[in-house]
A and B are shown apart, each in its own frame.
Chain A
Amino acid sequence: MSGARNIVVLTGGRSLERNVSLRSGAHVREALTRLGHDVRAVDADGDVLGSLLAGKPEVAFIALHGRDGEDGTIQQLLEAVGIPYTGSPPAACMSAHDKALAKHLMQAGGIPTPDFRCLSERAVKQLGGAALLEEIERSLAFPLVVKPARQGSALGVKFARSREELPGALVGAFSYDDKVLVERFIAGRDLAVSVLDGDPLPVVEAVPREEDFYDFSSRYEIGMTTFVCPAELDDATTARAQELALATYELLGCRGVARVDLMLDAQTSELWVLECNVVPGMTDTSLLPMAADAAGIDFDQLIERVLESAFEHLAVPPERAG
């Protein structure tokens, strides 16, 4: 291992994913401590800048999911004060965190992503709902998935099987964000590929335990879904999924680690990219550690590699303390 570093772990925060962030942060902190580093955790729900400046860390490990941690806010702050940090730069964070923007970029970049429409609350109010719903109905077929554009977890994600269900689903999604996307639903298998430093890890499949595919919230609950890694796929599909994940990672300009979620179309066997997560979960039941483990990288090694990736793009790595 490399020398001991003075590290701040940014955790907690104010987003709806605060609790997950706290768990990720705790695991990261424990691993970094085991690795011999000098670690301090900072809950990003208050004066982050003050804490950062006071501690003078040589690097910040971002374990902050959702708003602030994934939308580029914290990254811009760290850039401004000149502290290296783990993960993607601000522009990549902004592009990935906004699912609508990410999908526009994917479409332009030739990465297959399900057809969609993006609605803003303002547009709905100004243009009137009925016309919008009609346009959506004309251009996309039911069932549809409605998602808040900038909300990390499954919160607010709804199915609309028919036109009648669409207003309720939209109102639900608008509770989390004033920008919402309506996406064609791909029936099939739920896959995730994490990319570590430009290397795709083994594919993870999420298998809902219940037959009810229409309930996203229970789909991501403990015990409601089982995860298989490596996913049982033929070699060509595995390679294609990894290739698409890497292409998405590169297209968005990600650094360090990111997780790309895909669907394997049950009818056509096509792969579709849904979204990219720039701060994937780091709890011991999260997908990234699971995929790394399948690749023979244990949790501490994973954390060390993510940490080191914070310096790789810098021309002159800072002096090490230990």
Chain B
Amino acid sequence: MSGPTSEAGGRRRARPTAHELARYEALFAARTRTMKSSAMREMMALTEQPDVISLAGGLPDTSTFPPELFAELFDEVAASATARALQYGPTEGMAAAVDCVVEVMTAEGTRVDRDEVIITTGGQQVIDLVCKALIDPGDVIVAEAPTYPGAIPTFGAYQAAVAQIEMDDEGMPIDELERTLDRLAREARRPKFIYTIPNFQNPGGVTMSLERRRALVALAREHELLVLEDNPYGLLRYEGEPLPTLYALDADAGGTRGGADLVIYLGTFSKILSPGVRLGWAVAPRPVLEKLNLGKQGADLCSSPVTQLFVAEYFRHRDATGEPAWLAYVERLRALYGRRRDVMLAALEEHFGESGRWTRPGGGMFIWATLDERINTTDLLALARTSERVAFVPGSAAYMDGRSGASSMRLNFAGNSEEHIREGIRRIGSAVQTQVGLISTLTGSRARAGAAPTGADAAPTPSGAGERGAGGAGAELADVVELPRRARGSARRRGDG
């Protein structure tokens, strides 16, 4: 057969040549220039191999959900609502799913008005919709450092400038936040919202103290700034007493009305039930909610009625003792993950010892470990993956500039068996010891453990002493990372060589 490259005629080739790529280049939106794939991400893709123990994932353990119950719930949906399940649903979500949200929020100690809830396709969609509603290119988002790695591509896609504020063991230091806001004001730059994960932060593993929660809400009200409170792990608490949500604190501060004025709450069924149902929600002041709703109409019209009805059925289900099944399941996850956290902490003590520092989360799924500043965890991952068959998330994934946090790593304890956690940490520890040994040889000195937010976050600090006292070195590290990066020229580019 004759190839389509034949010289005769003006037939289009099936694949673009490099020359033709320039054409597409002119059509791509400016924001795609900030959407990047990094060597580190490429490497992460290689960790999904059967003999690699991965402590890298953000995964809950879905193997704990009883298959019989899964089948029973879908049977029930089929019997009672096949046609509705297969139909489009309302953009704001089905009433039955909103009922479940109200129930979860109540369990979190937060009262919500069901008219202020929108059901979304996972919590991730809330981040996207909030950016879509609030961010013009160059607008500033204030976030914690480190921050949720999954939010970074979203912030980048909306061309936000992100000011990251280094956390200590009580979360984001509010005095540092104030200084950042002042500085932005002097530079006539406009922060639109503050993004925070107050409970068992991903990836930092720290929890914002009650005093700081109060101070953050007060500051937001003073500056008329929105706060996006991302709370996927609030119910996964393994010790200590729950703290009020920022949403509840803002609603209380507002007085008369039920809802919050400036806090947008993000919740999800991913960690208390399953990420596979792809259901999350936002609770927001009405004017914001309307914009989120419009954005969602454009994005996907509605979240899946199939899974909304499945979740609704699940929340109606009672276990043998008459308890709501979902609460019993969360209780089970708590016991399971709590043990796994303890196993990981013990393993870190044994295998990292003095070569690192790590957070001691009171809940959630992640521990953040920081090593000697001369160890780069992206490089360490390359070594650990090949010589030890183990993986973790390098810290720089949690920074907008892709460079800071280079000596830290995120470790997931929730999604792995105790045996894998012990062995995984042993393997990472062995790679760390190799590097520490080399450093000692090269410098003739002992390696030092890096500074990290430490300490348990179990109970609220009654005195409020944390705010100024504990800030310390972390407070110095706040930085503003500009996005989008300046585009120059229109020549072609490549991603590999």
Contacts and interface: CB of A to CB of B under 8 A. Distances in A.
Contacts of B487: 209
Given A27-B15, A300-B5, A301-B5, A175 B402 contact: no
Contacts of A162: none
Nearest to B375: A171
Interface in B438-493: 438-439, 441-444, 485-493
Interface stretch (A92-100, A126-134, A234-242, A262-270): A126-134
Nearest to A283: B496
B19 to A, nearest CB: 5
Interface string A156-194: 101000000011101111111000000000000000000
Interface string A197-226: 000000000010110000101101111111
B63 interface: no
Place the interface of chain A in its size category: 35 or more
B374 A285 contact: no
Contacts of A129: 438, 441-444
Given A34-B5, A176-B383, A227 B444 contact: no
B40 A217 contact: yes
A289 B17 contact: yes
Contacts of A153: 39, 496-497
B3 A285 contact: no
Interface stretch (B30-38, B64-72, B89-97): B30-38
Interface stretch (B42-50, B77-85, B254-262): B42-50
Contact of A16 (B21, B43, B374, B442): B43
A130 B495 contact: no
A114 to B, nearest CB: 19
A139 to B, nearest CB: 17
Interface residues of B, number: 57
Interface stretch (A18-26, A49-57, A308-316): A18-26
Contacts of A173: 379
A72 interface: no
B35 A223 contact: yes
A281 interface: yes
A215 B403 contact: yes
B242 to A, nearest CB: 41
A281 B493 CA distance: 13
B4, B15, B435 pick with most chain A CB within 10 angstroms: B15
A285 B435 contact: no
Given A175-B382, A284-B18, A300-B5, A155 B496 contact: no
B380 interface: yes
Interface string A105-149: 000000000000000010011001110110000000000000000
Contacts of B33: 223
A162 to B, nearest CB: 13
A176 B379 contact: yes
A223 B373 CA distance: 28
Interface string B328-355: 0000000000000000000000000000
Contacts of B35: 223
B273 to A, nearest CB: 33
B156 to A, nearest CB: 10
Interface string B403-421: 1000000000000000000
Interface string B300-332: 000000000000000000000000000000000
A228 interface: yes
B19, B383, B442, B489 pick with most chain A CB within 10 angstroms: B442
Contacts of A218: 38, 402-403
Nearest to A20: B496
Nearest to B401: A218
B21 A175 contact: no
A251 B347 CA distance: 52
Given A124-B442, A175-B383, A287-B497, A227 B36 contact: no
B447 to A, nearest CB: 10
A221 B35 CA distance: 10
A30 B15 contact: yes
Contact of B46 (A19, A24, A287, A292): A19
A223 B46 CA distance: 22
Given A27-B15, A35-B3, A285 B382 contact: no
Contacts of A225: 493
B488 A130 contact: no
Contact of B14 (A24, A34, A168, A280): A34
B96 to A, nearest CB: 42
19 contacts: A17-B42, A20-B496, A36-B3, A124-B441, A167-B374, A167-B438, A171-B438, A209-B486, A220-B39, A220-B495, A220-B496, A221-B38, A222-B36, A222-B494, A223-B493, A225-B493, A227-B492, A284-B15, A289-B17
Interface of A: 1, 4, 16-20, 23-24, 27, 30-31, 34-36, 121, 124-125, 128-130, 132-133, 152-156, 158, 166-168, 170-176, 207, 209-210, 215, 217-218, 220-229, 259, 277, 280-281, 283-287, 289-290, 292-293, 298-301
Interface of B: 1-5, 13-19, 21, 32-40, 42-43, 45-46, 373-376, 378-380, 382-383, 402-403, 435, 438-439, 441-444, 485-497
Given A176-B382, A221-B39, 9 more contacts: A130-B443, A153-B39, A155-B378, A175-B380, A176-B383, A209-B486, A221-B37, A286-B494, A286-B496
